[in-house]
Amino acid sequence: MGTFRISVSKDYLAFAAAHFITFRGHACESLHGHNYRVGIVIQGPIDPECHFVVDFAVLKRIVRGRVDLLDHRVLLPTANPKLAFREADGMTFVNYLGRQTYQFPTRDCAMLPIANTTAEMIAEWFAGQVQDELSRAGGTVDLLEIEVEESAGQSAIYSERRGERHP
């Protein structure tokens, strides 16, 4: 018996965002931005009544909702031990190892529970979001892959099989 996989990669599943990455030791790159693109692959059983793995419309709605949360925002990794966050008067202050402070309007920040805003960690975050939403809808997924492209030809893919769980 074969398996079924569906794939979605649309022009509107993209977002523009700023970020910076902390590196080993005491290095932190400069704030910069990307035009990210998100693609998704799902493998699973065919619904016996509808004859599809997951309704494309439902999947696009889920991913689009998460893309919209990140679009035109500064991506901030709240699980990064090198960063401290403080909010005051509508501003979010980000302190890097007590040496450097960024300041952003809070409404322009996307606070993500990840360790760093790498394409890999963003892809894993998307996978968790999609998996949670599909689980609530009663969907069964054997394999979920999320690709986050931060520039043409440069992407990360996070893959999760049924029974594995993201943090």
Q: How many domains does the chain have?
A: 1
For residue 66, tell me if it sits in a domain: yes
For residue 166, being part of any structural domain is answered with no
CATH label of the domain that carries residue 83 = 3.30.479.10
Residue 106 lies in a domain: yes
**Residue 114 maps to a domain:** yes
pTM of the model: 0.92
Q: How confident is the prediction along the chain (167 residues), in pLDDT tens digits per residue?
A: 678 999 999 999 999 999 999 887 777 778 899 999 999 999 999 888 889 999 999 999 999 999 999 999 999 999 999 999 999 999 999 999 887 789 999 999 999 999 999 999 999 999 999 999 988 877 778 999 999 999 999 999 999 997 555 55
Residue 40 has which token pair?
Answer: 């998704």
Class of residue 75 by CB neighbours under 10 A (exposed 0-12, middle 13-18, buried 19+): buried
Whether 31 is covered by a domain: the verdict is yes
Residue 48, pLDDT score: 87
Please give the residue range of the domain that contains residue 146.
Answer: 4-161
